[in-house]
Amino acid sequence: MMSVTTLDRSATADRAEPRGRRPRKTTPARIGVYAFLVISALFFLIPLWVMLMTSFKTMDEIRLGNIFRFPANPTWEPWAHAWSSACTGLECNGLSVGFWNSIQILIPSVIISIAVGAVTGYALSFWRVRGANLMFGLLLLGAFIPYQVFIYPLVRMFAATGLYNSLICVVIVHVIFGLPLMTLLFRNFYAGLPIELFKAARVDGGGFWQIFGYVILPMSTPIIIVATILQVTGIWNDFLFGLTFAGRDNLPMTVQLNNIVNSTQGERAYNVDMAATILTALVPLTVYFLSGRWFVRGIAAGAVKG
Amino acid sequence: MSIATTEGHAGRTRRKPHFAAGVALIPAAIIVLVVYVGCMVWTVRLSFTSSRLLPKLDWVGAGQYTRLLDNHRFIVSVENIVLFGVLYIIGCLVFGFLLAVFIDQKVRNEAVFRTVFLYPYSMSFVVTGLVWQWILNPTLGLQNVLDQLGLGFIEIDWVVNPAMVMYALVLAAVWHGSGLVMAILLAGLRGVDEDIWKAAKVDGIPPWRMYSSVILPLLGPMVVTAVVLLATGVARLYDLVVAMTLGGPGISSEVPAKFVMDHLFERSNIGLATAAATMMLTTVAIVLAPWVYAKYVRQGAGR
Amino acid sequence: MAAVSVQDVSIAFGTLTVIDRMSLDIEEGEFIVLLGPSGCGKSTLLNAIAGLIEVEDGRIVIGGRNVTWEEPKDRSIAMVFQSYALYPRMTVRQNMSFGLKMAKMPKADIANRVERAADMLQINHLLDRRPNQLSGGQRQRVAIGRALVRDAAVFLFDEPLSNLDAQLRNELRLEIKRLHMELGSTTMVYVTHDQVEAMTLADRIAVMKDREIQQLGSPAELYHQPANLFVAGFVGSPKMNFLEGKARFGEDGPVFESADVQLPISSPALAQKLDDGQSITAGLRPEQLALGEDGVAGFEVDIVEPLGADNLVWARKGSSVLQLRLPGDIRVAAGEPVTVSPDLHHMHFFDTRSGMRL
């Protein structure tokens, strides 16, 4: 009897003693962390939600309703209207015009700016050219100067060459103002490559363009992806250059969007406005959601090395 | 735009100048000389002329500048940009830092939070401005919801109230930019040696103390990077204002960049516009100088 | 009473079990080394003892107290890391006193302890510097100092010397050994992949591989009686030679027979355990091989690596290659035919299939 009781007791004691995983307690601190994150997430998401909801509502519902509420009778009407028949000033062909203009601006601008940036970054990081450091310094400083300082002389220069108010003009402007970031991006990336690689290629008799084409460029895929993401979103989101240099027939989507929303006469069609807004944001949002960590890499490129 | 540079290989190895490399740098050199230097000088020169619709190369000394300082609209613009800049940078830094720290607490669905916090940054200022203009719409927006809830005494009239309109712009801009700070600082937090955290646990140092005494000083360079990125955005602030308030109500949300654009293209006052642009340039240069000095000159001397 | 007792501990990362029901008792004042290649689970075990990783099952007892659920700071441990893990923007003094300050220790006591630890490690002159003004060796001294001020019962070292160059590694190794002697009753648990560090420092070594302890014993036991092929190959430098072959019972008694080499099996106790034709592996340490008249003839010197005191000689016969460690005054040249004579009493035999010692 006695021994049985003792055994029992020790078994109980054993069980009560800490063993294995610490029991999970939901601490107030833990709840606080999630509460903060969830509330913040709501703050960030609400505008997207409101945009979407508004874009599917009828104007009647908007006048009476709650901007957060789900549409009672969801309709595609505002989207169709925004895309094909909303008025941007005098013309009423919708945002589709701006979309195609933006595409036409985007493709050459992205390709040319990355190409120039890659070559410049390569020349600056592996080759010795007189005055290159001074040029690079000026280029970097240029990145911080407000665009308003350059705009008027640029307008005069383009006007003098007859390029003003054309696709070519706005593409050139994007290449010009994309150059500092693109050069920096590629130069930093190439500075991280082992110099021995370059030396080996030199010993093997490679020239400037051969080394670039056969050795450096094939290794540049990651940075080209980063550069593409940055430039696609950056150029798509541009407003100032499109407005100033593209000319009336080539206005990009952002400018047309602003015209649709802010120069309407009479009562504003908020549902159409929001549909148009989402449509304009769709390209960068898609790039963002598809690229995921690459987008962050683009932001962090260089920044982390600071 | 990012700022940090790594010393290139060319600096370390001595080689003869190379012809093809020189040729490859011609496009960049032209851009630097013609645009960055040439256009800047041209603008500064124009600011000393009496140009209105068309550029004239006369000389009126500081005339445009005295006129600028008498210009009520310009003064309002400057006051606005200072207010906006301070609140926007502090707001993004504080909010972004908190987001990064909270995300770094080994939370579930971290990727979802990260994605949500950063997505506004991928969109344009025009889109940002238009969304917030609609949410803050004084009759049909948030106000309408509050009215329905019987909270109508809270007035969300920010976009039409001259005293509040700048705060509305700050709100929208912080929404747009906090994720950027979060991303930069989170990368920094992730770069912190994991053993340091372990050492702190063994030493019994509470996390808040680690963040304030150890981690924040470590993130210093990244905070500077974030500030420079945000500050560049402040100087360029234009799209957001055009989309959200068009400078209104009245002139209560005018900003210098918009002042320049309006006087160049609508008010045909090139002299005044270029004088304002030159003022912006000078301010940026003054703000930037210590940073450039610290980052490049001092670093270069120590090398 | 054991200073540290790991009892039936299992550790898992998600669904992956990293350590499965492992037990280990460490005596008070003992210097124990967890030795093994990377990924063997040695650091995981150390982190679990420290409380930096939660265990899935089992208990950890330190100084007679069950600390399985305790915070690291309450386990009376101190820890030194491979990457030093110093707080970057703080001076050495601040680094060493930060933990004590958090524990609300009076200022004078903190100063005393820091002073004493600094004396012990001879880092007094560094107290007002910052980590980035220190060399690697100095940083690791400071990290040890930071552990020292905690007055802990158990010191945990996680590959503390792996980031240092060879010279400094030897210096600090000595320093750690001296520290252990001076502290007397302090228990030390030391993780490394370097068998020289393990052999020189340890009272006992736990050799780990594939998340299991292969053998636990004194350095001498590990060297003279390796439990299996892995331990035999991992401990000792240069590495033990292995020859694969079969056991044969012929007219001359039991022999080990491979394609090129035939050696008598001298121990009758061992011979009894063997079956005729059983696949066995013979292990011969380079230092227990010599050149002589008796032995296995027909070897040819392949390469000679002179080290001064010793010559490392590679000898080949057919497909068998043996490494010999010969005194430096014995001169042999590549291409020379030699007879290799092993120390038959110090040969090791392993079952080839299971890898276990016979």
pLDDT digits (tens, 9 = 90+) for A242-283: 999 998 889 999 999 999 888 777 778 899 999 999 999 999
The residues that bridge with C324 in the sheet, in sequence order, are C313
Searching chain A, which residue's CA lies closest to the CA of residue C66?
A: A18
Average pLDDT over chain A, rounded to whole?
A: 86
**Sheet-wide strand order for C57-62:** C16-27, C2-13, C57-62, C65-66
Q: Percent of chain A having pLDDT more than 90?
A: 51
> pLDDT of C134-143, one tens digit each?
999 999 999 9
Mean pLDDT, rounded, for B95-116: 92
Specify the range with the lowest mean pLDDT, choosing from A2-16, A218-232, B201-215, B238-252. A2-16
Q: Write down the pLDDT at residue A294.
A: 84
Which residues in chain C touch residue A16, judged by CB atoms under 8 angstroms apart?
none
- The answer to whether residue B195 neighbours chain C at the CB level (below 8 Å) is yes
Interface contacts A/B by beta carbons within 8 Å: 332
Q: Write down the pLDDT at residue B10.
A: 52
What gap in Å lies between CA A217 and CA B64, rounded to an integer? 50
**Could you tell me the two tokens for C197?**
């560090």
Confidence band (pLDDT; 50, 70, 90) for A101?
very high
pLDDT at A91 over 90: no
> pLDDT of C326-355, one tens digit each?
998 888 888 999 999 998 888 899 999 999
**Could you tell me the two tokens for A225?**
């992806």
Contacts with B186 (C-beta within 8 Å, 6 or more apart), sequence order = B100, B103, B104, B114
pTM: 0.86
Kind of pairing between the strands at C348-351 and C279-284: antiparallel
Which residues in chain C touch residue B214, judged by CB atoms under 8 angstroms apart?
87-90
Distance from CA of C99 to the nearest CA of B (A): 5
Put simply, the answer to whether B132 touches A273 (Cβ < 8 Å) is no
Largest Cα–Cα separation, chain C:
81
What gap in Å lies between CA C346 and CA A111, rounded to an integer? 73
Q: Is the ipTM of this complex over 0.85?
A: yes
Q: Write down the pLDDT at residue A121.
A: 93
Of A48, A270, A305, the CB nearest to B140: A270
**Could you tell me the two tokens for A15?**
């069980």
Residue type, C119: D
Which residues in chain C touch residue A19, judged by CB atoms under 8 angstroms apart?
57-59, 68
pLDDT at A304 over 80: no
Specify the range with the lowest mean pLDDT, choosing from B296-300, C101-105, C211-215, C353-357. B296-300
pLDDT at B40 over 70: yes
Q: Return the number of other C-beta atoms located less than 10 Å from residue C127's C-beta.
A: 17
Put simply, the answer to whether B202 touches C52 (Cβ < 8 Å) is yes
Residue type, A132: A
- The answer to whether residue C23 neighbours chain A at the CB level (below 8 Å) is no
pLDDT at A79 over 60: yes
pLDDT at A303 over 70: no
Put simply, the answer to whether B193 touches C83 (Cβ < 8 Å) is yes
What gap in Å lies between CA B79 and CA B256, rounded to an integer? 10
What gap in Å lies between CA B231 and CA B84, rounded to an integer? 10
CB of A170 closer than 8 Å to CB of A236: no
CB of B6 closer than 8 Å to CB of A306: no
Q: Write down the pLDDT at residue B12.
A: 47
Put simply, the answer to whether C88 touches B218 (Cβ < 8 Å) is yes
CB of C229 closer than 8 Å to CB of C219: no
What gap in Å lies between CA B122 and CA A250, rounded to an integer? 23
What are the two backbone dihedrals, phi and then psi, of residue C181, each rounded to the nearest 5 degrees? -65, -45
Q: Write down the pLDDT at residue A63.
A: 86
Start-end of H helices in A85-194: 96-126, 132-142, 148-161, 167-191
Which residues in chain A touch residue C59, judged by CB atoms under 8 angstroms apart?
17-20
> pLDDT of A143-183, one tens digit each?
888 999 999 999 999 999 998 999 999 999 999 999 999 99
pLDDT at B15 over 70: no
Contacts with C87 (C-beta within 8 Å, 6 or more apart), sequence order = B196, B199, B200, B213, B214, C94, C95, C98, C131
> pLDDT of A215-243, one tens digit each?
999 999 999 999 999 999 999 999 999 99
Put simply, the answer to whether A21 touches C55 (Cβ < 8 Å) is yes
CB of C55 closer than 8 Å to CB of C13: no
Residue type, A232: V
Kind of pairing between the strands at C253-257 and C262-264: antiparallel
Mean pLDDT, rounded, for B125-145: 91
Put simply, the answer to whether C72 touches B205 (Cβ < 8 Å) is no
CB of C43 closer than 8 Å to CB of C20: no
Using alpha carbons only, give the angle A14, A16, A22 rounded to the nearest 5 degrees: 115
What gap in Å lies between CA A74 and CA A54, rounded to an integer? 10
Q: Write down the pLDDT at residue A2.
A: 40
Question: Looking at per-residue confidence, does C2 or B8 come out higher?
Answer: C2
Average pLDDT over chain C, rounded to whole?
A: 91
Q: Write down the pLDDT at residue B14.
A: 46
Q: Write down the pLDDT at residue C220.
A: 94
Confidence band (pLDDT; 50, 70, 90) for C259?
confident
Mean pLDDT, rounded, for B202-221: 90
pLDDT at A25 over 90: no
CB of B234 closer than 8 Å to CB of B85: yes
pLDDT at A92 over 50: yes
CB of C236 closer than 8 Å to CB of C195: yes
